[in-house]
Structure 1
Amino acid sequence: MLGFMDYVQKCFYRASKWDEDNSYANLNATARALLDFPTPKGLKMNLSSLSSPNFATSYSMASLGVVDGSVSYLYSSRPLDNALNSGDVQLKDAVSGYRDLREIMKPDDPRDWEIWKGGVRVDRRDTLLYGRMYLPASTLEALYLRRLAPTRQLKISAVSNSRLPNGGTILALLQQDNGKWSTEYLYSTDVALIGMRGLYNFGFDPRKALPRSTTATTTALDPRKIAGRFSAGAEVYYGILNKSGGMSTGFRYTTLPSNVGSPLTVTLTVNPLMGHFQASYAVKAGEGAVFCSRYDFNIYSYESDLVLGCELWRRKQGDDTAAAADASAAAASGMSAGNIDQTWQPETTSFSREGARDDVTGVLKARITQNYNIGLLWEGRYKQLLFSLGSNIDLKRREQPFRTVGIEIQYNS
């Protein structure tokens, strides 16, 4: 289950029209969400509130042998009217799962961001500030997020802890997203690390206007006819203090909403210096099931790892027929070629208050490794509360197979 502050940050991305999936860092986001999901330990409770469209607070308390907790504050210069409470938010927005990617969109024109009053520019760039203190460890983490332009964003995160080298670390990211391609330049105070990432999307370029003619070439360039997107990217980094570096490259193919078959995502990442490669495959088998597999292999040590996982969605009975009827009505009224641009806008704002009918009552996640380690997680909602119930099971430890068992409860107002 996404934490409230993570959910609010996603709302900020949606409100400021930033595509977080168009990044090399999130190339394997689907596989991570389906196979690397955390399971709660002990009892944890979260109480959060969006007291105003610009300000949010969150308090958490956990009990696992000792009692600890955290206090969080968040400020956004852009009103987050698309953020919903725990009783109204759709589970697909509150749960981290299969990433349904949309077609890349054309960035806004920089002139559209200008606001003039009396001959003077009065517009400001959207900014998000976040801070969290863990108690009783007194660990402090902070985030500064600022939209510099329609295609640029600055992200600075910091952690302060006396147990860390030099008492903490700072990571700065300058992100550029032009739709067709994206880049990230990073610097970390930890070993003075510098690096660069890049991702390129093959095929349709949203920055180029489609021809008005109806030739076969136009049909080939029409985003409505594109069933999938192939992306390739790479990263390089170097630590100045320890004089060591690294690099990796990756590829991803994912289907888009225009695809008539089963949605799927395939990724391959390679680290040539370490001799490691990773391949993953995720597919949606209908509306209520997702299956995923991931294979890791190292050509130097011959070590390998295989993880299998699934995600099963439970829906309200009788809603499948209603959903099909709604889809047919939408296709007849709003999905015509002339209105395709208007229909894309509701698709990219899943946090909208209007038309948000949540027919999902819960989701079951499961994974198993080749070492017979099993992870189980059930996430759902009870009235106004969101909950996560999970366990890690080691089948090789027959005397005590349950390694961890826990439940996490969230209430957001």
Structure 2
Amino acid sequence: MLDFMDYIQLAFAEATNWNRDNSYLSLTTTAQSILDFSTPERLRVRVSSLSTPHFATSYTLGTVGLLDGSVSYLFSTVPLHNTPSRSALIPLRKISPGYRQVYPPIAPVQSWGWDSLLNGVGIPGLKNGPASKFPTRKDDEQTVDEAAQRKATLLHASLQLPSPTTLYALFLRRMSPTTQLSLAVCSTRGPPLSNSAPQASMLAQLSHDTGKYCNEYLFSTDNALFGWRGLWNFGPDPRVTRDDAPPRLSLLSAGAEAYYSPVSSLIGMSTGLRFSTLPAATEVPSPSSTSTPPTPISTFPYTLTLTLTPITGSLSTTYSLRASPNLAFSSRFGFNVYSWESEMVAGCELWRRAKKSTSPANDDLEWARRKMRLHDFSASLPGSPPPTPPLPSDPVHPEPVTGSETDDSEANDSVIKLRIDQSWNVRLLWEGRVKELLVSAGVGLGPGSFSLSPSLSSTASGSGSTQSGGGAPSYWRGVGVSVMYSS
């Protein structure tokens, strides 16, 4: 389950129309959400609040060995009016990531009012992207929300306690419709009796997204590391696509990343492919004049990925399938061409929506209504004529619930995630809503640790049996519960 501050950052990206999925970093997000989920450790309690549309706070207390916790603050210049902040109203599918449906790329919003050298210049066939929700006005006529949209900035700070104390800070600024700047700082202070200076590092990232492609340039003060990530979407350019063009059925994307450090002579490189069906592929087309009934192009949405790290010789493939709106499967197979190490992981997620009973005869207050009828002199006795129909405003006989109210009662969402690898290590996670609390409970079982190499798992299990005096190794890897409340 995502942290409350991560959820607010997702809301900030949606409010500023920034596509977080059009990045090489999100190439394998669909499989990672199902296979690489983490289970809580011991007991952890989170209390958060979006006190104003611009300011959010979060406090965390955990019991992992010793008591630990964190204090976080977030400020956004963009008002988050339409963001549900109460834990009873937050959509569980947003705060508990699962199968992620890939959508066709769109052109960035160009009508936010930034000054440009091309203002007033018409380019044939070039689209300006989707229109902004605010009309274009002069600078002296702009409202506060319009000015905030143009100067979209996010500030986030988090302090981890106790020692070693870690301070994390984030500065995010939307510089133009296609450019975003991010500065992240991490500083760790040593033990109280240590005289060493705090260790700090900064990561700067400049992202440029046009819809057709996305480039990200990175620099880290840790060993003076330079990096680049890029993603290219095959097919028509969303900036020049005609409005009457048929919807796309699939999307093929290719990306790569490279890193280099002149201080430590460190070189890193990887590349990958992703093929995914789009929502239009599973829709039933309109019937034609032929006798053959229309059928969708694809029965189920699915995503295929292939990633390669040439320097280390690692190759990984994933296949994710959404069998129904509430059921998804995913698998991953990876191996190293320079050794015998391999990895095979399979997982699934099952969503459940429990409908509350809307019948007055089945609710928890029926026993009280029966007692009230004993003292109701207007109630009919046995053998007497039937009473007149109750008025609509009668509190004892409420009106039947309409369809819209029935949809609102479907608030008890929950999800079960299961993951197993080639060493029979199992992770089981349940996340759901209990009253007004978001609860996450998980357990880990298996003969070895969750490592990529089966040899490491056998070594860990062997050492565990030796330390226990030659007895049977323990298959219990840990259990934890996390509770979150937000207002």
**TM-score of Structure 1 vs Structure 2, range by shorter chain:** 0.7 to 0.9
Partner amino acid for 1:270? L
Task: Give the structure 2 partner of residue 216 of structure 1.
Answer: none
What does 1:256-267 correspond to in 2, within 5 Å? 256-260=278-282, 261-267=299-305
> Over the residues paired in the alignment, what is the CA RMSD in angstroms?
2.3
CA deviation after TM superposition for structure 1 residue 112, in Å? 3.9
Any gaps of 5 or more consecutive residues in structure 2? 116-136, 191-195, 283-298, 358-406, 449-460, 462-471
Query: Displacement of 1:360 after TM fit?
Result: 5.9
Question: Are residue 187 (structure 1) and residue 219 (structure 2) matched?
Answer: yes
Residue from 410, 419, 424 that aligns with 1:372: 424
Q: Deviations over 1:155-174 (max 9, x none)?
A: 11111013599712111100
Q: Would you say the 8 A contact 2:354–2:412 is kept in 1?
A: yes
Q: What residue is the counterpart of 2:477 in the other structure? A: 403
The letter for the 1-side match of 2:476 is F
Q: 1:311 to 1:172 in 2, by over 3 A?
A: same
| Equivalent in the alignment of 2:88 | 87
Contact 1:250 1:267 in 2 (8 A): yes
Q: State the AA in 2 paired with 1:79.
A: P
2: CA distance, partners of 1:145 / 1:306: 37
| Distance in structure 2 (CA, Å) of the matches to 1:211 and 1:81 | 31
Aligned residue for 1:25, secondary structure, equals: helix
- Higher deviation after alignment, 75-84 or 121-130: 121-130
Which residue is equivalent to 2:16?
16
The answer on whether the counterparts of 2:253 and 2:274 sit within 8 Å (CA) in structure 1 is yes
Change over 3 Å in CA distance of 1:356–1:201 after alignment to 2: farther
Corresponding residue of 2:388:
none
- Corresponding residue for 1:362? 414
Q: Does 1:285 align with 2:285?
A: no
Paired residue for 1:135, among 161, 179, 185? Answer: 161
For the 8 Å contact 1:228–1:259, the answer to whether it is kept is yes
**Aligned counterparts, 1:219-238, within 5 A:** 221-222=245-246, 224=247, 226-238=248-260
1:246 maps to 268
CA deviation digits over 1:262-302, x for unaligned, max 9?
01111111011111111111101112111111111110113
Report the CA distance between 1:316 and its aligned residue.
2.6
TM-aligned CA deviation for residue 399 of structure 1: 4.5
Distance in 1, matches of 2:266 and 2:5, equals: 35
Q: Which has the higher strand share?
A: 1
Q: Is the 8 A contact 1:313 1:360 kept in 2?
A: no
CA contact (8 A) 2:47 2:484 kept: yes
Q: Distance in 1 between matches of 2:171 and 2:12?
A: 13
| Bigger Rg over Cα | 2
Change (3 A) 1:358 1:100: farther
User: Which ranges in structure 1 are unaligned for 5 or more consecutive residues?
Assistant: 213-220, 320-354
Q: How far 1:400 moved relative to its partner?
A: 2.5
- How many residue pairs match? The answer is 368
Aligned CA distance change for structure 1 residues 318 and 267 (closer, same or farther; 3 Å) = farther
Aligned to 1:202: 234
- Displacement of 1:206 in angstroms is 1.3
1:385 correspondence with 2:420:
no
Amino acid at match of 2:474: Q
CA gap of 1:103–1:10, structure 2 versus 1, over 3 A, is same
Partner of 1:343: none
Q: AA paired with 1:248? A: S
The alpha carbon displacement at 1:82 in A equals: 2.7
CA shift in 2, pair 1:203/1:359, >3 Å: farther
Give the match for residue 44 of structure 1.
44
SS at match of 1:258: helix
For the residue of structure 2 that corresponds to 1:285, the secondary structure is: strand
Following superposition, the deviation at residue 118 of structure 1 comes to 4.0
Task: Determine the structure 2 residue equivalent to 1:170.
Answer: 202
AA aligned to 1:133 is L
Q: Report % sequence identity.
A: 43
- Residue 402 and residue 107 in structure 1: after superposition, are their counterparts in 2 closer, same or farther (change >3 A)? same
Contact 2:354 2:410 in 1 (8 A): no
Matches within 5 A, 1:309-348: 309-316=347-354
1:299 counterpart = 2:337? yes
> Residues of 2 paired with 1:194 and 1:68: CA distance?
34
Matched residue type, 2:188: N
Instruction: Tell me what 1:68 maps to.
Output: 68
- Could you tell me the TM-score, scaled by structure 1's length? 0.84
Question: Which one of 152, 156, 161 corresponds to residue 188 of structure 2?
Answer: 161
Task: Verify the 8 A CA contact 2:344 2:422 in the aligned structure 1.
Answer: yes
The AA in structure 1 aligned to 2:87 is S
Q: Distance in 1 between matches of 2:200 and 2:138?
A: 42
CA distance in 2, matches of 1:52, 1:211: 39
Bigger CA drift: 65-74 or 357-366? 357-366
Q: Tell me the equivalent position of 1:217.
A: none
Q: Return the offset for 1:116.
A: 2.9
Aligned equivalent of 1:116, options 111, 135, 138: 138
